[in-house]
Chain A
Amino acid sequence: GQSLEQPSEVTAVEGAIVQINCTYQTSGFYGLSWYQQHDGGAPTFLSYNGLDGLEETGRFSSFLSRSDSYGYLLLQELQMKDSASYFCAPSLGNSGNTPLVFGKGTRLSVIA
């Protein structure tokens, strides 16, 4: 079967660094995406890992280890506006023609 796990809630202090972990189990895997969703808003794309390693985009970085079926999103220099839900969304197939799987996401609260 398929499973996707990430923490339901994380709280961090403004200016700090926070890591949101994601583990998945699936018979097929193509890549891992991360999306951000503010309250009342729509999910928006943050990053994609197709290969093992770290991808950096400004204050955000995303990491993937295929052998461990594991990835994480790293947010640095946290700002209040980073308070949102974050979804890891694996593509659970063996090609780029497999849709993403979202779950319940991780709700990040940034406090002063």
Chain B
Amino acid sequence: DAGVIQSPRHEVTEMGQEVTLRCKPISGHNSLFWYRQTMMRGLELLIYFNNNVPIDDSGMPEDRFSAKMPNASFSTLKIQPSEPRDSAVYFCAGGLGVGDEQFFGPGTRLTVL
């Protein structure tokens, strides 16, 4: 297995633009998590899914953020419109269960100018 796949690995965009981050979890992993990492706030959980169903999105900072998981092998995190304060590394992670060991993707480094 190739592990968790995220794309793009780097994204540079201008304020106001829409950004879509993509994640392909490891086959068979039922839980999927989106995290944001910054120096100031550390690694924060944004939203997580269990069996493709969003369970808790209380970590999503604003309505500008949305996430979907249309099937077991794909998830997206969308920011519209993007702002400079959204600049961070966004990680997708998966696991067999919500509380089990998580396998992280390589992350997407987002820079909003």
Who on chain A is nearest to B103 by CB?
A45
Docked pose: A87 CA to B33 CA in angstroms: 17
- Please tell me which stretch of A19-27, A51-59, A63-71, A101-109 contacts chain B, meaning at least 4 of its Cβ atoms lie within 8 angstroms of it: A101-109
Known contacts A87-B43, A104-B42, A105-B43; is-contact A99 B98 (Cβ 8 Å): yes
Docked pose: A97 CA to B105 CA in angstroms: 21
Number of residues on chain B facing chain A (CB within 8 A)? 23
Among B56, B97, B104, B107, the most chain A Cβ lie within 10 Å of the Cβ of: B104
Chain A interface secondary structure, helix, strand, loop or mixed?
loop
CB of B42 within 8 A of CB of A30, answer: no
Among A31, A42, A93, A104, the most chain B Cβ lie within 10 Å of the Cβ of: A42
Query: Which one of A33, A42, A93, A95 contacts B101 once the chains associate, using CB atoms below 8 Å?
Result: A33
A44 within 8 A of B: yes
Contact partners of B99 in chain A: CB under 8 A:
30-31, 91, 93, 95-100
Known contacts A43-B43, A43-B91, A105-B43; is-contact A100 B97 (Cβ 8 Å): no
Q: How far is the CB of B111 from chain A (nearest CB, A)?
A: 15
Contacting A at CB under 8 A, from B66-113, are 91, 93, 97-107
Contact partners of B60 in chain A: CB under 8 A:
none
